[in-house]
Copies of this chain bind each other. A is one copy, B any other.
């Protein structure tokens, strides 16, 4: 059935949440546990409560809003996404999957649906890697993929650890690894999200159903050279950390271009130098590199190529290299039955769709490890994301919410 969606209310809430930002509109910036992120969380928790959902927050700030079903013992059906946003981002990434899920639940309530199993909407902590350089922190912890040692070693740019930020967020203490949830907790997880790519728009389709999520890896490189006065140190004696970093950034691009797979993407997204003064030879550089592919083999080949090039460049330039694999995740295969269910619903609702892969990675990558998972993509203009001009129309969002609502209805019946 096509469940009616209150598009205007949803748009209003997306706009309101976008104004809770560390930077003025239209820029959205909500870094994990910043004041804006905390206010954003409060805003959404309030919506959950207004919709009659019971709200629980775990020790790392994952938020669970539950619509209690008739059968208290059956595993719940879950949906959700994230509301944190990288610096200079837009208002739809993540948010559509959270506020859209609330709208789906409210629409089902209005349609007098009574769920047999409970429905939960999850806001995951730090899908974006801005704070700690590690994405999907909350869902990784729920899936039990991070050791306590690894968690304790997390540091942000200022050297603060997760414990510091949990205190800022007034979260309870205890071992963050203990938020892990059991394999049979959820009967399924469906995440609504903007595509962050151009496929749906180009093919004029309303829905993409995700069959696989690209395999991501990220590296952090610390390059240590020798500084000095930009006027006083002649060229032959230099050990300039920036120049090694520049060569590595270009090698990262080459590794993607020559991987043999058109789906390999590699990005040097962080590039910081010290001391960063015009008349001083850079003595230190920090690079963070993001590498993804739909195929594990070409992703891993590119990874090796980048690591080899970095070592070679640093040896050649006499630069000290410290290379850390921040994460090297396997791709996720979505649940075939769930994908087919969503496809059947699209056919029934006469909503044009395609099955596709997700190049961006999402909390679904980790949820897929603990329950049947898929994602519902909607188009975004120009395939643009992580920018203030990121845009999906009210109609496009509405189509996604309608498919999500019907999917939740079927799963919870």
Contacting pair B278 A196 (CB below 8 A)? no
Q: Given known contacts A235-B256, A275-B386, is B228 in contact with A240 (CB within 8 Å)?
A: no
The number of times this chain is found in the oligomer is 2
Q: Which one of B86, B358, B383 lies within 8 Å of A280 (CB-CB)? A: B86
Query: Is there contact, CB below 8 Å, between A133 and B278?
Result: yes
If the complex has contacts A247-B246, A250-B243, A267-B240, are A196 and B277 also in contact, measured as CB distance less than 8 A? no
Quote the shortest CB–CB distance from A377 to chain B (angstroms): 11
A197 vs B234: C-alpha distance when bound (angstroms): 9
Q: Is A269 in contact with chain B by the CB < 8 A criterion? A: yes
A69-77, A113-121, A288-296, A397-405: which lies at the B interface?
A288-296
CB distance from A88 to the nearest CB of B (A): 4
For residue A383, which residues in chain B have a CB less than 8 angstroms away from its CB? 228, 232-233
Q: What residues of B have a CB within 8 angstroms of the CB of A355 in the complex? A: none
A360 & B229 in contact (Cβ 8 Å cutoff): yes
Q: Which residues of B contact A266 (CB under 8 A)?
A: 235
Q: Which of B218, B228, B385 contacts A385 (CB 8 A)?
A: B228
Tell me if B274 and A278 are in contact (CB < 8 A): no
**Interface window among A5-13, A257-265, A336-344:** A257-265
Residue in chain B with minimal CB distance to A247: B250
B residues in contact with A290, CB < 8 Å: 230-231, 278-279
Residues of B near A267 (CB, < 8 A) are 230, 240, 278-281
Given contacts A246-B249, A277-B129, contact A231 B282 (CB under 8 A): no
A359 within 8 A of B: yes
For A29, the closest partner residue in chain B by CB is B275
Residue of B whose beta carbon sits closest to that of A257: B235
Q: In the complex the two chains form, is A279's CB within 8 Å of B246's CB?
A: no
Contact B262 A269 (CB under 8 A): no
- Of all chain B residues, the one with the shortest Cβ separation from A86 is B277
Interface contact B229-A275, CB-CB below 8 Å:
no
Q: Which of B86, B242, B384 contacts A279 (CB 8 A)?
A: B86
Nearest B residue to A382, CB-CB: B228
Say whether A129 contacts B279, CB under 8 Å: yes
Pairwise interchain contact B384-A228, C-beta atoms closer than 8 A = yes
Q: Please tell me if the beta carbons of A229 and B280 are within 8 angstroms of each other in the complex.
A: no
Q: Does A135 contact B (CB under 8 A)?
A: yes
Instruction: Return chain B residues, CB-CB under 8 Å to A283.
Output: 387
A358 contacts which chain B residues (CB < 8 A)?
Answer: 231
Say whether A196 contacts B387, CB under 8 Å: no
B87 close to A275 (CB less than 8 A): yes
A273 contacts partner chain B, Cβ-Cβ < 8 Å = yes
Output the residue of A135, A228, A263, A361 with the most chain B CB within 10 A.
A228
A113 to chain B, nearest CB (A): 34
Contact partner, A269, options B128, B257, B277, Cβ 8 Å: B277
- Given contacts A278-B289, A281-B269, whether A216 and B242 have CB atoms under 8 Å apart is no
Q: How far is the CB of A372 from chain B (nearest CB, A)?
A: 23
Q: A234-B359, A246-B249 are in contact. List 17 more A-B contacts (CB 8 A).
A: A86-B277, A86-B280, A128-B279, A130-B278, A196-B229, A197-B232, A197-B233, A228-B385, A229-B386, A232-B385, A233-B383, A234-B263, A235-B256, A242-B268, A270-B278, A277-B386, A278-B288
The 5 closest A-B pairs by CB, nearest first: A246-B246, A231-B360, A196-B232, A230-B267, A278-B288
Sample of 26 A–B contacts (CB below 8 Å): A86-B275, A87-B275, A87-B277, A88-B275, A129-B279, A130-B278, A135-B279, A214-B231, A229-B360, A232-B359, A232-B383, A232-B385, A233-B265, A234-B265, A235-B266, A243-B253, A243-B268, A246-B249, A247-B250, A267-B281, A268-B282, A269-B276, A269-B279, A278-B288, A278-B290, A279-B360
